[in-house]
Structure 1
């Protein structure tokens, strides 16, 4: 089924869905089937509609989407309530009593619009998720795991150095860029790393190796899979629609 055009959705709904898409990206872009399996309460098709449909889905459905992406349920419930309030106000305006004069209704309408706008601003913050302005011709490609192949077995309470190789496949020079961990704040018992790591300046068609030191948790067994996205120095995502890179190790005593 083709995805609806953005113009077919209310702006508030589009902003809400965009936030959910970014939440899924930060979770490593799991497939909707995997999300449905993790939820156990809704189908993959229903989860897909949560970010592609033309209507706001019930909170019970949105909650399962957020849970499958390890999001903050309280935060997203507040966002959902804000969007529902705005959409309900647009869809079902309350008729004014006949005895009220137009001079009274106009300022009242302005007050209601201002109040709704304030709710949207408070409940739908997006500054931290705003992608960087796109640079025409900017693109990247994952080349290889230089060290620590996926599913490598490592000891608890130790450190290892993970190295990836990336290629600047575009026409824009990479300057002051980083890889940022997507699962912040890090859960207890997970592998520890810096929140973000620098990417050396790289010319078009150049390759760069990116290094991160990883500390494994003291207890085992633990499976560590950590995803990373490229950001600029303002911490804005540079390739929001691309898949993250990651490392995956098995912590065993």
Structure 2
């Protein structure tokens, strides 16, 4: 889908420029997914992408949100969730967990269906795209050779379980696995050991038969097992005479493996002024949240940065930490209530010193009070 420039007149609230062109839901799974994003955007009042990235508090840029709705490529799950969260949860009041499950299902189906279409297009002889919709392109294995097509190459379309779980299922009856010769010659197909080798169609110039290769593999396996047993038993027999058999070759404890860095946070509670609290007009108060470092990365130089503006006044950002992994921290901001009655809801997002959002998959924390 192509999209024309879009902007909003701050004085009137209306958009300027040409109207964006919607993706055609019939043109493919990615376009259908983008079409669903457009429908959600309309139900939420059709805010501009700039408003979604600033005033509504989405932790994604305007260009990323616009690209997600263009329908030419499947967006990342993080960008998708920020697109959906500010509209379906924060604006339309949907349950966060239900909304996440529903849209995660839509996103995975678009990824799997798009990848399946690429595979089917490649099998039919049409040109496959340079980059698949989801996941890395499959390995081509050894150079192609001419052979009689195997039954396992005529695999039926993906099942519903494959589309939802991403796990391939066992081939149905009548679709036999490839032979040992096919595996030895570089075929990408795999077969179950229980099925045993199956003779492959004869081809000119074949260097050895399947039976000969099977015998060679069996002999190699026996020799390998014998070598392992000798290497394990021999030290026990010839161990150090001073301390007893096997002592000199006892392995030392393995060094602890380093952990893969994992950054995460967990909201624990509203310490003061829980959602729905009534405050007086013009009143100043301290709002406190408690969050926990749920990852294994220490927090240094981090802040809660305000994502929107309201009649209630609050600092632009407040410092966090330092916080070690597993520790909890209380964060307090000083807020002054509006001078007139109404609802006051302010969003904050964790950022670094340069105000770059962190933990994109996490919802912002917020203050939600009623001014009387």
Normalised to the residue count of structure 1, the TM-score between the two structures is: 0.49
More RCO (CA 8 Å, sep 6+): 1
Select the structure that is richer in strand: 1
Normalised to the residue count of structure 2, the TM-score between the two structures is: 0.35
Q: Which has the larger radius of gyration?
A: 2
